[in-house]
Amino acid sequence: MTVLGWLIALAVGSIVAAAGLVLSLIFTNPLAIGPLGVTMWFVGLFLAFSSLFTLLFYGTKTYLHLHATGAARLRYSWRQGMLLATWVVGLLSLSSLRQLGVLDAILLGILLVIIEVYVRLRWP
């Protein structure tokens, strides 16, 4: 699959996931869908955010002419988009469980920075 094909797939996936999330917010509530439904809602949120962040990072890297090829830009953008989406959805899920503190947010952020640094040093 080409880079353009992956970008189209990411855009369509983001739109579909966001539409599903909006529809679920309109027509249901957390009590009606239960724990499994709430978990699936957060998975959909992760998919929507990760594809959206990936597209934003790819567009920024293309504008700034970072990385030699489109495939490299997409690979780095995909990883960074997933890391940022993990952080945002992790904070939102902890907040919904009323388990979020300032230190938790900082520790999750540090963990993701460590993962990014490790991956960059290990696989350039």
What pLDDT score was predicted for residue 58?
Answer: 93
What pLDDT score was predicted for residue 42?
Answer: 92
Closest CA to 94 of 104, 103, 84: 104
Residue 74 to residue 59: CA distance in whole angstroms? 9
What pLDDT score was predicted for residue 105?
Answer: 86
What lies within 8 Å, CB to CB, of 97 at 6+ separation is: none
What pLDDT score was predicted for residue 45?
Answer: 93
DSSP 69: S
Residue 13 to residue 23: CA distance in whole angstroms? 15
What pLDDT score was predicted for residue 51?
Answer: 93
What pLDDT score was predicted for residue 52?
Answer: 93
Residue 48 to residue 43: CA distance in whole angstroms? 9
**Alpha helices, DSSP H only, in 28-69?**
30-63
pLDDT averaged per 10 residues in sequence order, the chain, 124 residues: 88 90 88 88 92 93 86 89 92 87 89 88 75
Residue type (1 letter), 79: R
What lies within 8 Å, CB to CB, of 59 at 6+ separation is: none
Whether the CB-CB separation of 81 and 53 falls below 8 Å is answered with yes
